[in-house]
Structure 1
Amino acid sequence: MISDLFLGLAVSLVAMLIHLAGTQLLVALMNPFHHVMRGRGHLRLAVALVTTYLVMLAAHVLEVGLWGLLFDTLGLAPVSEDAYYSAFVNYTTLGYGGSQRIVETRLLGPLASANGILMFGWSTALLVLVVQRHLPAHLTSRD
């Protein structure tokens, strides 16, 4: 159980680093647009939101893949597809609903869920920041 805890925390840390890289990519992508799109508030807001959404979605998919790889490598599911499905269900905190739990773990699933909650909160904060930063220009633009 202690090894699962440390393994889950290590994967959570790598997932956090993926999210950090996505955030840094957003800064690198959006800084040039800030000055180029001055006076084009409608377009600037749309580009900023779409870019943020796509980069953060890609980060989440990579992070779920990381958890799925862990579940698969540890042989916690009968087939690889089940490991990735379970990773998605746990990471998104969707829950298994009426279906049976596929992955046999008591600690790694909840750690994947905790990681997903934190990463979705981070993504939400970035989207709010984009709206706060670009909405005033959108409201005052003359498009």
Structure 2
Amino acid sequence: MLRQLLVSIAISICNIAIHAVVMDAVLRAARAARERATSHQSLQLIAVMTATVSVLMAAHIAEVIVWSLGYAMVDAAPSGTDLVYFAFVNYTTLGYGDVTPLQRWHLIGPMTAMNGVLLFGWSTAVIFSILQKAWLTGRTNGG
């Protein structure tokens, strides 16, 4: 069990680092976009939010791939398993149950889900913050 937790924690830390770097870039880009006020605030809001969510989705896909690589390194799933699919099902907490980890790695699925839930929550908080700041900027600039 300790090995499962250590591997899962290491992968989670990698994903937290990826997410932190992406969040920094997203927040800087959103701040820069807000500072370039235009007469078309609604178009600016659409552009900022589309870019923000797209970048965050790409970050989550990268994090799922990190989990799938981790699964491959420790041979956590049955032979022939699509590891990216398996990681996506766990990371998103979808939990189809059509693929399960090998018995010796049974904790890696829940640990993946925990990591995904935390990172989705972080993304949601940032999306809300950017939306709120963009909306407030538009209102103070006459939008």
- Indicate whether the TM-score tops 0.5: yes
User: What is the CA–CA distance in structure 2 between the aligned matches of 1:23 and 1:39, rounded to whole Å?
Assistant: 27
Please say if 1:101 is aligned against 2:99. Answer: yes
The percentage of counterpart residues that share the same residue type is 31
Matching residue of 2:52: 52
Matching residue of 1:69: 69
What letter corresponds to residue 52 of structure 1 in structure 2?
T
Choose 30-39 or 43-52, whichever is displaced more. 30-39
CA deviation string 1:85-138 (max 9, x = no partner): 111000000011xx5334323111100000000000011101110111011344
Choose 14-23 or 70-79, whichever is displaced more. 70-79
Matching residue of 1:13: 13
Choose 34-43 or 61-70, whichever is displaced more. 34-43
Matching residue of 1:89: 89
Choose 59-68 or 102-111, whichever is displaced more. 102-111
User: What is the CA–CA distance in structure 1 between the aligned matches of 2:62 and 2:138, rounded to whole Å?
Assistant: 32
Please say if residues 40 and 142 of structure 1, whose CA atoms lie closer than 8 Å, have aligned partners that are also in contact: no
Please say if residues 76 and 103 of structure 1, whose CA atoms lie closer than 8 Å, have aligned partners that are also in contact: yes
Query: Residue 75 of structure 2 aligns to a residue in which SS?
Result: coil
Query: Residue 94 of structure 2 aligns to a residue in which SS?
Result: coil
User: What is the CA–CA distance in structure 2 between the aligned matches of 1:14 and 1:83, rounded to whole Å?
Assistant: 18
User: What is the CA–CA distance in structure 2 between the aligned matches of 1:35 and 1:137, rounded to whole Å?
Assistant: 9
Matching residue of 2:28: 28
User: What is the CA–CA distance in structure 1 between the aligned matches of 2:127 and 2:35, rounded to whole Å?
Assistant: 20
User: What is the CA–CA distance in structure 2 between the aligned matches of 1:123 and 1:58, rounded to whole Å?
Assistant: 12
User: What is the CA–CA distance in structure 2 between the aligned matches of 1:103 and 1:43, rounded to whole Å?
Assistant: 46
User: What is the CA–CA distance in structure 2 between the aligned matches of 1:120 and 1:110, rounded to whole Å?
Assistant: 15
Query: Residue 106 of structure 2 aligns to a residue in which SS?
Result: coil
User: What is the CA–CA distance in structure 1 between the aligned matches of 2:12 and 2:91, rounded to whole Å?
Assistant: 11
1:44 Cα offset (Å): 2.2
In structure 1, list runs of 5 or more residues that go unmatched: none
Q: CA RMSD in A?
A: 1.9
* Number of residues of Structure 1 aligned to a counterpart in Structure 2: 140
In structure 2, list runs of 5 or more residues that go unmatched: none
Please say if residues 19 and 59 of structure 2, whose CA atoms lie closer than 8 Å, have aligned partners that are also in contact: yes
